[in-house]
């Protein structure tokens, strides 16, 4: 967390002039509102924030903010972000991804980012489908979800990202619903302020390939109990909830990973020497 | 639909003006966003409808600022936090559709205007402060007129026939 406070920032200060091309009704519009509201609440100026993403509908979000951004390689947003954060610890680093980019292509990076516990916030907009590539089942798609691309459903048990995050060492775990974007903004503020690797899953309906997800607004509910710092308790709660519990579910106490570097090389010629054979 | 904010407390005229201004200012932002969406998805009729709605709400916001006189409604809203969730006239983003018609947009507007009307009516019915009651009653009149205006516009834009969202080349076609 690096809070270079400038209270005059308003949510609009974090929006770029680029108009989103998401489908009207998409939950990601709400997530963008949550991002800008959270940044304004934190008061961190846009130039002190980096929004890093991979590939997919959700990963378009850096372009829609006025912060520094990097629309990276599929599934590799966390690797990029980790590199940035360890070399520029002064920046607030927020990583945006989707369930395909984050849990399938980037699944391994997800596990090790949790394990490393670098001080950054990972936001996954989970719509249980690959939207950008026209509706293939993702790791969180229900086994019986029937599409032309997966007739009769995949029959596969969905990935449980919150449990994986907890088991792998994430230091803060929360679930939000895109439609409740003020609560989401509040939770993003908490996630960014919490030291270490914070993981926020946002249920964000895909209105085009998963119109059934419009019902999520009637299914989500606040978690019945507050967050715990006990991983065993958190594991039991997360494993047994219905997938629609909202709120901060785990707030850990692990120290973030902060590598120490030797003398920094400032002259490119010196750097080239290091690679000479 | 997103979660609506709990009704904030109105303890002073400044609170009332700030909340009233924020209702309109939030509506402007939301309609602009919807207009942008419709522009991106080539629904020019709706671009115009949402831009017109944004413009109308902007005029209302300015009127409230003028009425508030020396009270800096923007600063007061910022200091007090204003609406904690979505304010009454923020249209439901999740109800947007790339083929939506003016009737749908006006239904969104109607819902918002009715919520604002209910908010100010609630203040008139509960406040013990005569000045707040008087100003809130003016806002009730104003919002009731907006509700009527939307009803009048709806006569021009009747409900579309079933199948309005049928698209011969839908975006979710699997190729």
A65 beta partners: A15
B-proximal residues of A, 9-38, CB under 8 Å: 12, 19-25, 27, 29-30
* Domain boundaries B13-156, corresponding CATH code: 1.20.1260.10
A126 vs A140, A255, B55, CA distance in Å? 8, 28, 35
Q: What is the pLDDT of residue B3?
A: 57
- C-beta pairs of A80-84 under 8 Å, 24+ apart in sequence: A80/A52, A81/A50, A81/A52, A81/A113, A81/A118, A81/A120, A81/A122, A82/A113, A82/A116, A82/A118, A82/A120, A84/A50, A84/A52
The full set of domain ranges for chain B reads 13-156
Q: Would the pLDDT of B47 be above 50?
A: yes
Position A265 in a domain: yes
- A5 belongs to a structural domain: no
Q: What ipTM is given for this predicted complex?
A: 0.86
Encode chain B in three state secondary structure.
CCCECCCCCCCCHHHHHHHHHHHHHHHHHHHHHHHHHHHHCCCHHHHHHHHHHHHHHHHHHHHHHHHHCCCCHHHHHHHHCCCCCECCCCCCHHHCCCCCCHHHHHHHHHHHHHHHHHHHHHHHHHCCCHHHHHHHHHHHHHHHHHHHHHHHHHHHCCCCCCCCCCCCCCCCCCC
- What is the pLDDT, as a whole number, of residue B5? 61
**Residue B86 with chain A: CB contacts under 8 Å:** 182
Instruction: Specify if A253 maps to a domain.
Output: yes
- Do residue A25 and residue B95 have CB atoms under 8 angstroms apart? yes
**Rounded Cα–Cα distance for residues B105 and B53 (Å):** 9
Per-residue pLDDT of chain A (277 residues; tens, 9 = 90+): 444 444 457 888 999 999 999 999 999 999 999 999 999 999 999 999 999 999 999 999 999 999 999 999 999 999 999 999 999 999 999 999 999 999 999 999 999 999 999 999 999 999 999 999 989 999 999 999 998 889 999 999 999 999 999 999 999 999 999 999 889 999 999 999 999 999 999 999 999 999 999 999 999 999 999 999 999 999 999 999 999 999 999 999 999 999 887 777 788 888 888 888 8
Name the residue among B29, B98, B173 with its Cβ closest to that of A24. Answer: B98
- pLDDT, residue A8, reads 57
Judge whether A267 lies within some domain.
yes
- Would you state the pLDDT for residue A6? 47
- Rounded CA gap, A9 and A43, in Å? 6
**Within an 8 Å CB–CB cutoff, is residue B167 touching chain A?**
no
Q: Smallest Cβ distance to B41: which of A24, A149, A205?
A: A24
Per residue in B125-149, pLDDT (tens digit) is: 999 999 999 999 999 999 999 999 9
Residues of B in contact with A149 (CB under 8 A): 174
Cβ contact A115:A169 at 8 Å: yes
Residue A2 resides in a domain: no
Cross-chain Cβ contact A182/B84 below 8 Å = yes
A56 in contact with B at a CB cutoff of 8 Å?
no
Distance between CA atoms of residues A92 and A1, nearest Å: 6
Flag if A25 and B33 touch (Cβ within 8 Å): no
Query: Is residue B1 a contact partner of residue A217, using CB atoms and an 8 Å limit?
Result: yes
Chain A residues touching B174 at Cβ < 8 A: 134-135, 147-149
Sign of the CA dihedral B139, A182, A30, A39?
A: positive
Question: Mind spelling out the 3-state secondary structure of chain A?
Answer: CCCCCCCCCCHHHHECCCCCCCCCCCCHHHHHHHHHHHHHHHCCCHHHEEEEECCCCHHHHHHHECCEEEECCCCCHHHHHHHHHHHCCCCEEEEEEEHHHHHHHCHHHHHHHHHHCCCEEEEEEECCCECCCCCECCCCCCCCCCECCECCCCCCCCCCHHHHHHHHCCCEEEEEECCCHHHHHHHHHHHHHCCCEEEEEEECCCCCCCHHHHHHHHHCEECCCCCECCHHHHHHHHHHCCCCEEEEEEECCCCCCCCCCCCCCCCHHHHHHHCCC
Q: Residues near A95 by Cβ (< 8 Å), separated by ≥ 6? A: A51, A52, A53, A77, A78, A81, A120, A121, A122, A123
Any idea what the CATH number is for the domain that residue A36 is in?
Answer: 3.40.50.970
How many whole angstroms separate alpha carbon A129 and alpha carbon A111?
20
How far apart (Å, rounded) are the C-alpha atoms in residues A22 and A272?
43
Q: Which domain holds residue A54?
A: 11-274
| Residue A4 belongs to a domain | no
A220 within some domain: yes
Under a CB-based contact definition with an 8 Å cutoff, are residues A169 and A122 in contact?
no
Q: Which of A23, A180, A183 sits opposite B98 (nearest CB)?
A: A23
A149 and B100: CB-CB below 8 Å? Answer: no
Question: Chain A within 8 Å of B3 (Cβ-Cβ)?
Answer: yes
Question: What predicted TM-score, i.e. pTM, was given to this entire model?
Answer: 0.90
pLDDT digits (tens, 9 = 90+) for B22-45: 999 999 999 999 999 999 999 999
Q: What is the pLDDT of residue A5?
A: 43
Phi-psi region of A259 (alpha: psi -120 to 50; beta: other; left: phi over 0): beta
Region B77-96: what's the mean pLDDT? 87
Interface touch B36/A19, C-beta < 8 Å: yes
Chain A contact set for B8 (CB, 8 A) = none
Per-residue pLDDT at B171 exceeds 90: no
Neighbouring residues of B61: CB distance < 8 A, sequence distance ≥ 6: B21, B24, B25, B28
> Could you tell me the sign of the dihedral formed by the alpha carbons of A17, A22, A28, A33, in that order?
positive
Q: List phi, psi (to 5°) of A85.
A: -65, -40
Query: What total of structural domains would you count in chain A?
Result: 1
How many Å apart are CA B141 and CA B152, to the nearest integer? 16
Identify which of A179, A181, A209 has the shortest CB distance to residue B172. Answer: A209
């Amino acid at each position: 967390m690096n809070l270079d406070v400038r209270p005059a920032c308003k949510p609009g200060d974090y929006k770029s002039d680029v108009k989103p091309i998401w489908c009207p009704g998409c939950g990601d519009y709400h997530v963008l509102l949550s991002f800008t509201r959270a940044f304004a609440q934190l008061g961190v100026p846009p130039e002190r924030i980096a929004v890093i993403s991979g590939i997919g509908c959700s990963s378009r979000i850096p372009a829609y903010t006025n912060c520094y951004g990097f629309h990276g390689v599929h599934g590799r947003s966390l690797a990029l972000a980790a590199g940035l954060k360890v070399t520029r610890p002064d920046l607030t680093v927020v990583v945006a991804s989707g369930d395909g980019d984050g849990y399938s292509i980037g699944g391994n990076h997800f596990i090790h980012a949790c394990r490393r516990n670098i001080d950054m916030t990972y936001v996954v907009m989970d719509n249980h489908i690959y939207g950008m590539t026209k509706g293939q089942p993702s790791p969180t798609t229900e086994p019986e979800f029937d599409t032309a691309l997966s007739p009769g459903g995949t029959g596969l048990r969905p990935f449980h990202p919150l449990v994986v995050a907890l088991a792998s060492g994430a230091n803060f775990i929360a679930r939000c619903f895109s439609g409740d974007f003020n609560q989401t903004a509040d939770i993003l503020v908490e996630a960014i302020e919490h030291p270490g690797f914070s993981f926020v899953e946002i249920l964000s309906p895909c209105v085009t390939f998963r119109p059934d997800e419009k019902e999520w607004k009637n299914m989500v509910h606040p978690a019945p109990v507050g967050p715990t710092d006990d991983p065993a308790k958190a594991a039991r709660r997360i494993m047994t909830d219905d997938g629609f519990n909202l709120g901060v579910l785990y707030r850990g106490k692990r120290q973030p990973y902060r590598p120490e570097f030797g003398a920094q090389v400032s002259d490119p010629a010196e750097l080239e020497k290091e690679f000479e054979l | 639909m997103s979660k609506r904010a709990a009704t904030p407390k109105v303890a002073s005229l400044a609170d009332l003006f700030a909340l009233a201004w924020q209702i309109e200012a939030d509506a402007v932002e939301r309609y602009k966003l919807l207009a942008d969406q419709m522009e991106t998805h080539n629904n020019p009729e709706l671009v115009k409808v949402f831009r017109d709605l944004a413009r109308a709400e902007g005029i209302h916001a300015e009127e409230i600022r003028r009425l508030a006189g020396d009270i800096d409604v923007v600063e007061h809203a910022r200091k007090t936090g204003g609406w904690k969730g979505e304010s009454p006239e923020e249209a439901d983003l999740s109800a947007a559709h790339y083929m939506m018609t003016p009737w749908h947009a006006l239904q969104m507007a109607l819902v918002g205007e009715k919520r604002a009307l209910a908010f100010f009516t609630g203040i008139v019915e509960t406040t013990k402060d005569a000045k707040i009651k008087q100003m809130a009653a003016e806002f009730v009149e104003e919002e009731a007129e907006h509700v009527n205006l939307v009803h009048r516009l709806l006569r021009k834009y009747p409900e579309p026939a079933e199948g309005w969202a049928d698209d011969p080349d839908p975006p979710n076609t699997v190729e």
